[in-house]
Each structure stands twice: as C-alpha cells, then as structure tokens.
Chain A
Amino acid sequence: MTLRVAVTGLGVIAPLGNSLEELFSSLRAGRSGIRALPAPCSETPGSSVGATVETPTCARIPETRLRMLDRVSYLALVAAVQAVEDSGIEFERENRERCGVAVGTGMGGAATTDDGYHTLYAERSDRIKPFTVIAAMTNAAAAWIGLEYALTGANLTYSTACSSSAVAVGEAAAKIRAGEADVMIAGGAEAPLTRGVLRAWDAMRTLAHPDKSDPGTSCRPFSMTRSGLVLGEGAAFLVLESWEHARRRGARIHAALSGYGLATDVAHITRPTVLGQTRAMRAALQSAGLSPDDIDYINAHGTATLQNDAVETSAIKEVFGERAYRIPISSTKSMHGHLLGAAGALELLICIGSLQRGWVPPTMHLDRPDPACDLDYVAGAARAVIPLRIALSNSFAFGGTNAVLAVEKV
C-alpha cells in the first residue's frame, strides 16, 4: 500500500511572499528575499543578512491574543489559517477527534527566549515576563493552531532541526494512512532572526559571508563561491486528508502526497553522509511505489554550505545514476534562505506549486558552478519542464535526520 494522501490546502508566509501567488511570482522572477539586517543583528558579518517576512495581518487572530504569541507562533497561525481557508474545510462539520495538527520547528519561540535572557542577564532584572514559557515552548505554534479550530485529535511537534517540517508532514500523512486521522494541518514555522540565534549560528561558521554590494545574492548553493547558509523566517502549512475524505466532501485536491522516506546519519552530529541521504531518497521512492525514472524535479536541500551541496550531489547521483544529470534540481534557498524547521514544508509547497504550473524555480547566484556539483541545477532562470508530474523534496538535518517527501500531480 502506498502513502497516498490528498493535499487540499496550502498556506505560506515566506520571505518571497505571503501567499502562494506572491511566492511563485517571486520564484519566477528569481527575486531574493535575503536582505541586510539592522543593528544589533548586523554586529558581525555572518549575522548581518537574513531572509525576512513582511509581518502579515490576520483578521481571525484577536488582538488580545497577540501578547501571548512569539513571532514563530504568529507566523504559523497565519499560514495555517490560510491553508485551512484554501482547503474550504469546515471543521464544525467534521469529527474533530479525527482531526489534528503536526508542526515542525527547530528553534521554537527563540525571540521570547532571547528576550527573557536579555532581561535577566543584561538588564539584570529579577523578573521575566509571565508568558515566557507559554510563548517560548516549542509546541506553542501547534497548540495555537489546534485551539483555533478546536481539533481534539493528535497535536504534535517535531523538532529535528532542518528536517523538522518535512518530518511533521510525513508523519501526519502516515497517521492518515494508518487510519488514525482523517485530516491533519501539517507544516512548519521558524523565526530565528534574533541577535542570539544569529550569533549562535555564526559561531558555528555556517553562515554565508554576505555580499556587501548586493546582500540578496549572499546565498549561493552549488557554486564555487558558496560560503554558507542564510537564515530565514516564515511558515508553510498544508491541509492533508485521506483520499476518501477529500473526495467525499468534494474538495479540490492540489496534489497527492505519495512518498515519505526517513533515514538517519550516525557518522557525526553535523556532517552529512551520502549513505543517509541516499537511503532517505530511496525510502521515499519505495513508499510511493516509484522508481528513479519517475522523478521529474528535485527541490534540493541545497543549503550552500561546502559540505551539504557536494554530499547531496553525490547522493542524487547514487540514487538516480545517469538519469541524475537529466533531472532539473533547484535550491530555492538561494532566494528564500534557510527556514530551518519550516524549510521542508515551504519547499514541498514549492514542489506542489511547480507541478501545478508546469515550470520549476531556478537556483539563483550560480554563475560559477563547483566541479563537485555538476548536475542540472536550473541556474539563473525558471524553466518549463515537460513532463512535470512527480517531484521530490529533500530535507537533511543537523543531528542526522534525513527526510524526503514525494508529491504527484493529480
């Protein structure tokens, strides 16, 4: 039995736009959402750029609630509301015990944690805001979404660093396939652009050297000149339903989520392995009942770190053989940055939107390809692809949790 779950709703709040339409018009144009950050974030070169979201408004969220929400929960809630509205589902008519939420986030309420520590350690205050725990707890975003729609089924948060939301979506789909749920709101959110988080990532020497003359070009996946990732904020959500459930209520089905593969690296806490990534891609194909020949597009993890891009290239060659050279592959992180826990869901949305539109987004800022990265990365401009029926989305993580999702056009 394959994992075939209906995707009936999509919602996105991202550096490239606060709707799927805006996102795709930016991807089409190769626009960058990466920009220079103001002080105090700009105090070191690595922490001086980030992919920012224009803070959205949402009539559904009462103003009285805002003071309890960290930015990560707010972005999550707005994107989830968008996905639910897009799906047309009316939860009042559903058995809500069979409806749930699955969210992926790496850092949770990072701004709240940062603020709390600042108050305590820098301002030497002896008091911290009473809502610090509620706002900072990693499962806050999932909880608020569940509360919003009174969903009494599973309410889950997955934190596997950069694969968090790919895992959340995959596990939510698995729950539906197992008959444990009819509907899941699944996705991810991240709001890491705080001074403390940026500096921590910079200390690992993983952040890109910013391009001073054009900060938007700082993230250069698969390029000789790549120097690391650029952190981004945002949220992306899907409404997933069992195929029968979606059909019964006459829902419009955007795509079929057909594959989910999971494999863990155990070589090192951060260093990726070809074997782990290969196993995850193969597992996704297997769970979808697909062969390597079926894949028309890959949205790469493509972080623009020295290690990842070369290892991912090797892993794709290992899985797809000669065909690897003929599959269009892009790293959209070159434009929207690395949304950490939200990256997998955002990039899956990009795969689905690409299947619907018949073209795939480019990898930008790839003027000088690294010889170790010699596949077709759709450099510089979006491209129409025929046929474009099935796509893979790769998400690999610190800690070693590799997750790959497969989606099919319907």
Chain B
Amino acid sequence: MSTLETLQNILVKEFKRSPEQLRPEATLADVGIDSLDLVDLIFKIEDQFGLKVKDDVPRSLVTIADVATYIDQLLANKAAEPATVAATNRPP
C-alpha cells in the first residue's frame, strides 16, 4: 500500500471521512482537518508509520498529497538515521 493510500485509510478509519472526499489534491481544509485535527493526525501517522515527529509540522502542508510527501520525507530521514547514530556511537 502506498503512503497516500495508508494516509487515506487513516482519514477514513480514524477521522470518519468519506473516501470520495480524499482526492490527493483536496486540501486539509476541504476535508475539515483544522490545526487541532492535524496534531491528532500526526499522532496517528507516527503510530502507523513508526515515526517520531520531533520538529514543528511545516505550514506548507496544504493538500493530502502534501502530507503524503511529508511522510515519505520523514521515512527517508529515518532510513538515513541509523548510519548517523552508528557513526556517533563509534568508540574513540
């Protein structure tokens, strides 16, 4: 399942949105996700994708596709992380 599909699933299951609303180009405002809901959505995304969002959520997230792209970025960053950790943990 693609990131977008997983995200759409969360919005259907947890946020009770109808699947027809959830076109990639639909804005979060279109589907009634306000700033408070977005905090909750990030929480669910962390669960679903095994992520940890430490930084503030970028304001540039406007559409559902934007959120999916953002998740992909986080996943890519996470994949890059273990190497960094290993590097810093290397004994002197």
Contact = CB atoms under 8 A, between A and B. Distances in A.
Given A130-B40, A131-B40, A64 B46 contact: no
B32 A129 contact: no
Interface stretch (B9-17, B22-30, B60-68, B76-84): B9-17
A64 B43 contact: no
A127 B43 contact: yes
A92 interface: no
Across the A-B interface, give the 7 residue pairs with the lowest CB-CB distance, nearest first: A63-B16, A130-B39, A64-B16, A130-B40, A130-B43, A131-B40, A64-B15
User: In which size bucket is the chain B interface?
Assistant: 10 to 19
Contacts of A67: 14-15, 40
Given A64-B32, A67-B40, A127 B17 contact: no
Interface residues of A, number: 10
Interface of A: 62-64, 66-67, 127, 129-131, 134
Contacts of B36: 134
A67 B14 CA distance: 8
A130 B15 CA distance: 14
A64 B14 CA distance: 9
A63 B16 CA distance: 7
A129 B43 contact: yes
Given A62-B16, A131-B40, 14 more contacts: A64-B15, A64-B16, A64-B17, A67-B14, A67-B15, A67-B40, A127-B43, A127-B46, A129-B40, A129-B43, A130-B39, A130-B40, A130-B42, A130-B43
A64 B42 CA distance: 17
A115 to B, nearest CB: 14
A134 B14 CA distance: 17
A320 to B, nearest CB: 53
**Most A C-beta atoms less than 10 A away, residue of B14, B16, B42, B46:** B16
Interface in B33-51: 36, 39-40, 42-43, 46
